[in-house]
Structure 1
Amino acid sequence: MSVTTLLLTAGFAGLVVLGFPFAIAIALVIVAVLVVADIEPAFLAQQVIAGSQSFSLLAIPLFMLAGEIMTKGGLSQRLVDFASTLVRHRTGGLAMVTVIAALVFSAISGSAPATTAAIGAIMIPAMAAAGYDRAFAASIAVSAGVLGPLIPPSIAFVIWGIVSEQSIGRLFLSGIVPGFSIAFGLLVICWLHARRAGVPRGEKADWGEVARAFARGKWALLSPVVVLGGIYGGIFTPTEAAAVSCIYALIVGVLIERRITFSDLPTIVIRSVRTSAMVTAIIAISAGFGVLIAQERIAVDFANWLASNVQEKWLALAGLNVAFFLLAAVMDEIAIMVILGPLLIAIATKFGIDPIHFGSIIVTNVAIGMATPPIGYCLFVGMAISGLSLMQVARAIWPQILVMVFVLMLTTYIPGFALLLQPR
């Protein structure tokens, strides 16, 4: 094994274990390789520029901005109010409201942490006041936030589409069935928990209240229709849809709901920029890392080794899922997709896995990682809202994790499950 290969593998892993931020760890490894291999220093600058020039990357900050605008504009509250009129009278109804509201909000924000924050801030205190265990309330908000990467438009699918050079629109479709399946599983868990804990049911809403809640929430409910209808109607691309989503959210928040003033915009923009800057920094710097990985043939050699030693495709997929699950529990999910992308694609190609199906497997893994202890992003959002420790939320979330893993198995081993909605 060459010194360059050691730096790109063991060197990078060592920096991550020491606690270096991923973007900085990648940059340091690239600089070390440039020095050792006597490569022109301008290589890093060139690759950072090249890695940040994709038109599709614009969708990430724009969808994050749209989510921030809609949260500030009160659309998340409208979604919760409408969902509440539909299911609050059922056993576990208030917890079910969290899942249903998150399902719709996911089609607005495309982000798991944003969905957890927007819906959890409303529903965790409400569930605790209604008699739900606070740890369960936090865990259901965290696991409902996981729908963000699966329900289109999804930031995770945008990133994987860029990495794998696949159709983002088709990748979006591959996440719908897994996403709705996880949502259904979470609804069952809500029912079982409320029944076991004896949580009282809410008062049933009459048709008049349902109609009034729908009227108040129609602009929030219309947003996914506008965005997804435009994408699949061929009116605009996913990136252009992100811009349309921002404009739509701004019009509703400022002119219709009137909860946003122009003085609020700098704060909203700064919050979305902080989040998207971390994501785009990793992607941009990882472009150089990916080129060096390709030059060293690490991905190709590993894929050849795996194909030589593991003959069965199902076994290779099982190994990838286990490895991905463990990595996602301790490593940033976006970094995994960007850094390991060439390796994962090489393995999928070697075993003849459909690239859209493989993308669904990857993003479902990413979604689970958002809620998996110890460093799932959504866990920390849920902890901040609930005031609970990591251990308290982690103990309560394992039934939801098992549901997600079951859906991952269906996604992995039944290609038609993920590809059901693909155009023929």
Structure 2
Amino acid sequence: MSEIGMVLIGGMFILLLAGVPIAVTLGLLTVVGLWMADFSPLIMAQRLIAGSTVTSLLAIPGFILAGDLMTAGGLSRRLVRIASTCFGHFTGGLSMSTVAAGTFFGAISGSAPATTAAVGSIMIKELELRGYSRGYGAALATAIGPLGQMIPPSIPMIIWGVLAEESISKLFLAGIIPGLLAAAGFCLISVIYARRLNIPREKRPSFAEILAALRDGIWALLAPVVILGGIYGGIFTPTEAAMIGALYSLCIGLFVYKDLSWSQLPGILVGAMRTTTLIMFIIVTAYGFAWVIASERIPSQISEVLLGITDNPLLLLLLLNLMLLVLGAVMDTVSAMVILSGVLIAVGAQIGLDPIQLGAMVVINFAVGMVTPPLGYSLFVAASISGLSIERVTRHLWPFLLVLVVVVGLVAYIPAITLFLPALLG
């Protein structure tokens, strides 16, 4: 590796360990790299502008705002009620209701922490009242967070699509089956846990109760239909769908459910803008950093090192996934994807991995990182909501984490899991 490459990689580890924000780290290292390579500093400005003008990134603030409006407008609460009505009378029914609610909300928000916050704030207390331990409820709320990144729409899928220049719609489709497999695994854990603790079933709801829940929550149920149906029906693009989802959530919260007031909007908008700004700051500085490391051939050099370890594609896939799982546990998802995109694309091409399968595999690995100590954002959210320590939540998390790791393995070694739906729908 060149001297510039060693400075960039070593400097990144030093600055991150020192607690320097990732966006500042990337910006500083880009300037240093340009100076060492004797490039014009104007390149930094050009890359910042290039990174901020990618049209597909407009979907990010839309989906963030849509998720916040759904929570404040009562849509998420009604999704939870519908799930509880439909699944509550089964063994482990309330736990399965939490999984179902997380799946529904994940089909709207696109964010792991948002899914954990929206569903966990309601269900952790309910689970404890019905005989489940508070630690189990917090672990379950943590585990359903990644469903928001697997099931479309998914903010990390959008970011990867931009970085890898792949179809965002196809990446969305690639995450559906893995997300449903993870949800099914969580439901199985729910049944086993409920039987082991002899948690009684809920009373079977009457037809009138089911009808009432559906009538009350029909507008919430229609949200993913509007968003995903519009995308795959060719009515609008993922970027347009994000804005339509935000507008839909706003109108339903204000005028139909009336749980949302005009006075709440400034705070919701500021919160969504703050989250969007943090993500965009990382992305635009990473564009400059990616240009420098590409000019130094660092991605191809790292891929050559990996390929030098073994030429067996199966072993390379295993090494790649282990690396992603470890990095996902210690790095922010957006930062990790932006920094590693060149390396991952190069390695994927060398071993003949389909680009859509590779994108889904990367996103799902980093989704697992959302629930893994020490930097699992969904874990932090669930611990905060439940009032428990990270250690106590983690003790109950391992069965769910095992399900997610199994899903990662299936995605890596069975291409049809991610490629079937994109091929089916063209």
TM-score by length of 2: 0.98
Report the alpha carbon displacement of residue 229 of structure 1 after superposing the two structures with TM.
0.7
Tell me if the contact between 2:34 and 2:292 (Cα under 8 Å) persists in the aligned partners: no
Q: Which runs of 5+ in 2 are unaligned?
A: none
Letter in 2 for 1:111: S
Letter in 2 for 1:291: W
Report the alpha carbon displacement of residue 93 of structure 1 after superposing the two structures with TM.
1.1
In 1, distance between residues paired with 2:51 and 2:129?
A: 48
Letter in 1 for 2:348: A
Provide the residue aligned with 2:183 in structure 1.
183
Tell me if the contact between 1:253 and 1:260 (Cα under 8 Å) persists in the aligned partners: yes
Report the alpha carbon displacement of residue 238 of structure 1 after superposing the two structures with TM.
0.3
Q: Summarize the alignment of residues 92-103 of structure 1 with structure 2, pairs less than 5 Å apart.
A: 92-103=92-103
Task: Give CA-to-partner distance per residue, 1:132-154, whole Å, 9 cap, x none.
Answer: 11111000011011100010111
Report the alpha carbon displacement of residue 315 of structure 1 after superposing the two structures with TM.
0.7
In 2, distance between residues paired with 1:221 and 1:14?
A: 47
Provide the residue aligned with 1:303 in structure 2.
303
Report the alpha carbon displacement of residue 276 of structure 1 after superposing the two structures with TM.
1.6
Letter in 1 for 2:41: P
In 1, distance between residues paired with 2:381 and 2:200?
A: 27
Q: Does 2:349 correspond to 1:326? A: no
Tell me if the contact between 1:71 and 1:118 (Cα under 8 Å) persists in the aligned partners: yes
Segments ≥4 residues shifted beyond 4 Å: none
Provide the residue aligned with 2:353 in structure 1.
353
In 2, distance between residues paired with 1:138 and 1:309?
A: 40
Report the alpha carbon displacement of residue 200 of structure 1 after superposing the two structures with TM.
2.5
Task: Give CA-to-partner distance per residue, 1:76-105, whole Å, 9 cap, x none.
Answer: 110011111111112211111110001001
Letter in 2 for 1:300: S
Q: Summarize the alignment of residues 108-127 of structure 1 with structure 2, pairs less than 5 Å apart.
A: 108-127=108-127
Q: Summarize the alignment of residues 248-259 of structure 1 with structure 2, pairs less than 5 Å apart.
A: 248-259=248-259
Provide the residue aligned with 1:286 in structure 2.
286
| Residue aligned with 1:422, SS | helix
Provide the residue aligned with 2:19 in structure 1.
19
In 2, distance between residues paired with 1:203 and 1:310?
A: 57
Report the alpha carbon displacement of residue 32 of structure 1 after superposing the two structures with TM.
2.1
Task: Give CA-to-partner distance per residue, 1:82-132, whole Å, 9 cap, x none.
Answer: 111111112211111110001001111111111110000000111112221
Report the alpha carbon displacement of residue 207 of structure 1 after superposing the two structures with TM.
1.1
Report the alpha carbon displacement of residue 352 of structure 1 after superposing the two structures with TM.
1.1
Report the alpha carbon displacement of residue 28 of structure 1 after superposing the two structures with TM.
1.7
Count of residue correspondences: 424
Task: Give CA-to-partner distance per residue, 1:309-333, whole Å, 9 cap, x none.
Answer: 3211111110010011111111111
Task: Give CA-to-partner distance per residue, 1:368-395, whole Å, 9 cap, x none.
Answer: 1111111111000001100011111111
In 2, distance between residues paired with 1:160 and 1:34?
A: 25
Report the alpha carbon displacement of residue 305 of structure 1 after superposing the two structures with TM.
3.1
Report the alpha carbon displacement of residue 17 of structure 1 after superposing the two structures with TM.
1.4
Task: Give CA-to-partner distance per residue, 1:281-304, whole Å, 9 cap, x none.
Answer: 111110000000100001012223
Provide the residue aligned with 1:70 in structure 2.
70
Report the alpha carbon displacement of residue 274 of structure 1 after superposing the two structures with TM.
1.6
Task: Give CA-to-partner distance per residue, 1:143-179, whole Å, 9 cap, x none.
Answer: 0111000101111110110011000000101000000
Provide the residue aligned with 1:247 in structure 2.
247
In 1, distance between residues paired with 2:364 and 2:122?
A: 26
Report the alpha carbon displacement of residue 258 of structure 1 after superposing the two structures with TM.
0.9
Q: Does 2:202 correspond to 1:202? A: yes
| Residue aligned with 2:423, SS | coil
Letter in 1 for 2:387: G
In 2, distance between residues paired with 1:257 and 1:100?
A: 22
Letter in 2 for 1:292: V
Q: Does 2:153 correspond to 1:153? A: yes
In 2, distance between residues paired with 1:52 and 1:394?
A: 37
Matched-pair identity in %: 47
In 2, distance between residues paired with 1:373 and 1:276?
A: 24
In 1, distance between residues paired with 2:168 and 2:422?
A: 12
Report the alpha carbon displacement of residue 213 of structure 1 after superposing the two structures with TM.
0.2
Letter in 1 for 2:65: L
Shifted more, 106-115 versus 88-97: the winner is 88-97
Report the alpha carbon displacement of residue 251 of structure 1 after superposing the two structures with TM.
0.9
In 2, distance between residues paired with 1:7 and 1:192?
A: 51
In 1, distance between residues paired with 2:199 and 2:385?
A: 21
Letter in 1 for 2:378: C
Shifted more, 10-19 versus 341-350: the winner is 10-19
Letter in 1 for 2:209: E
Report the alpha carbon displacement of residue 46 of structure 1 after superposing the two structures with TM.
1.8
- Aligned-residue Cα RMSD (Å) equals 1.1
TM-score by length of 1: 0.98
In 1, distance between residues paired with 2:2 and 2:299?
A: 15
Task: Give CA-to-partner distance per residue, 1:41-75, whole Å, 9 cap, x none.
Answer: 22222211111110010111110000000100000
| Residue aligned with 1:248, SS | helix
Tell me if the contact between 1:304 and 1:350 (Cα under 8 Å) persists in the aligned partners: no
| Residue aligned with 1:148, SS | helix
In 2, distance between residues paired with 1:78 and 1:10?
A: 49
Shifted more, 87-96 versus 64-73: the winner is 87-96
Letter in 2 for 1:212: A
Q: Which runs of 5+ in 1 are unaligned?
A: none
Shifted more, 183-192 versus 124-133: the winner is 124-133
Letter in 2 for 1:306: L
Provide the residue aligned with 2:137 in structure 1.
137
In 2, distance between residues paired with 1:84 and 1:393?
A: 23
Letter in 2 for 1:274: R
Report the alpha carbon displacement of residue 260 of structure 1 after superposing the two structures with TM.
1.4
In 1, distance between residues paired with 2:195 and 2:335?
A: 40
Provide the residue aligned with 1:10 in structure 2.
10
| Residue aligned with 1:371, SS | coil
| Residue aligned with 1:352, SS | coil
Report the alpha carbon displacement of residue 36 of structure 1 after superposing the two structures with TM.
2.8
Tell me if the contact between 2:164 and 2:341 (Cα under 8 Å) persists in the aligned partners: yes
